[in-house]
Structure 1
Amino acid sequence: MASIKYLADNRHKMKRLVLAGGIFDVIHIGHINYFKKAKSLGDTLAVHITEGKSFFNAKKRAAAISAIKFVDFVFIAPGDFCDKNILKKLKPDILMLNDGPDKFDCKGTVVFRKYF
């Protein structure tokens, strides 16, 4: 598991950073497809685990996501996934958003490129 500080300090080593995030409580095939698509858009995939109500705590969710081969870094941070402070620190090339928890095919995924 990485920290925002570690990622920000090492950002210069990452050619094309994709930032994806969410709650990811009870990992399923839709999450795997989401991470696979996100990784295909860049060289480095960082996943932001948001805290909040969930069945599994954030550390357990982060451990599960860290085991997925498409994911390079995982970090836990409070607040919203699109928190402007996180975006300012990490300066991702691509921000991945999904419009719902039941999207198994990534059709609801929205990709933002350098709008922040």
Structure 2
Amino acid sequence: MRNLLDRENVEKFISDLKKQNKKVVFTNGVFDILHVGHLTYLEEAKSFGDILVVGINSDSSVKVNKGDKRPINSEQDRAKMILGLKPVDYAVIFDEKTPVEIIGKIKPDIHIKGGDYKKEELPETEIVEKNGGTVEILSFVDNKSTTGVIEKILDVYGSKNGK
């Protein structure tokens, strides 16, 4: 898949981009069922630099974070969808519960998180700042979530399952 970075080579690849004076922005998430909140978030994240790298939780990581019923879409499908969005330059799939390990390899100039997080509570803040980067928290977009989409689908179609 084009622009899906290999975990083993991501460090050198990003390092080469930085040598070209590219400002590397990193963000991460599950991105299970894409919605306008994801797109708005990624567009804003991209505005912080030249290259936007999106870390995508692997299927096993999603199960740890969201429970056994998730993800709805496979990690390969989610990566392909994310890479199809205009603001996204590269993606990388990670297996851990948090992106701390992959951030340690990428060493982004800026790490972006949504407004539902606090910088001081993020496990990745320490590694980002240790490597000379900054953490930026975007404003929270209310009522835009994959969980909300799933709940609406169940609300609208759920009663038809028993018929």
SS in 2 for 1:21: strand
What is the letter of the counterpart of residue 77 of structure 1?
A: F
SS in 2 for 1:70: coil
SS in 1 for 2:9: helix
54-63 vs 2-11, greater mean Cα deviation: 2-11
Shift of 1:87: 1.7
Which residue of 2 is the match for residue 65 of structure 1?
82
SS in 2 for 1:86: helix
* Residue in structure 1 matching 2:26, options 5, 14, 19: 19
Is the radius of gyration larger for structure 1 or structure 2?
2
> Which 4+ residue blocks in structure 1 deviate beyond 6 angstroms?
none
* Residue in structure 2 matching 1:96, options 112, 115, 121: 112
Q: Distance in 2 between the 1:45 and 1:56 partners?
A: 22
Q: Percent identity?
A: 28
Q: Give 5+ residue unaligned stretches, structure 1.
A: 101-107
CA contact (8 A) 2:55 2:93 kept: yes
The answer to whether the aligner puts 1:7 opposite 2:16 as a matched pair is: no
Q: How many residues align?
A: 106
RMSD: 2.0
What is the letter of the counterpart of residue 78 of structure 1?
A: D
Give the TM-score taking structure 1 as reference length.
0.80
What is the letter of the counterpart of residue 67 of structure 1?
A: G
SS in 1 for 2:5: coil
44-53 vs 91-100, greater mean Cα deviation: 91-100
Shift of 1:109: 8.6
44-53 vs 3-12, greater mean Cα deviation: 3-12
Instruction: Write 1 or 2 for the structure with the bigger share of strand.
Output: 1
Higher relative contact order (CA 8 A, sep 6+): 1
Q: Distance in 2 between the 1:61 and 1:109 partners?
A: 26
CA contact (8 A) 2:23 2:50 kept: yes
Q: Distance in 2 between the 1:67 and 1:81 partners?
A: 24
Q: Give 5+ residue unaligned stretches, structure 2.
A: 63-69, 120-124, 131-163
Q: Distance in 1 between the 2:47 and 2:29 partners?
A: 18
Any idea what the Cα deviations from partners look like across 1:25-49, whole Å, max 9, x if unmatched?
Answer: 1000000011101100010000011
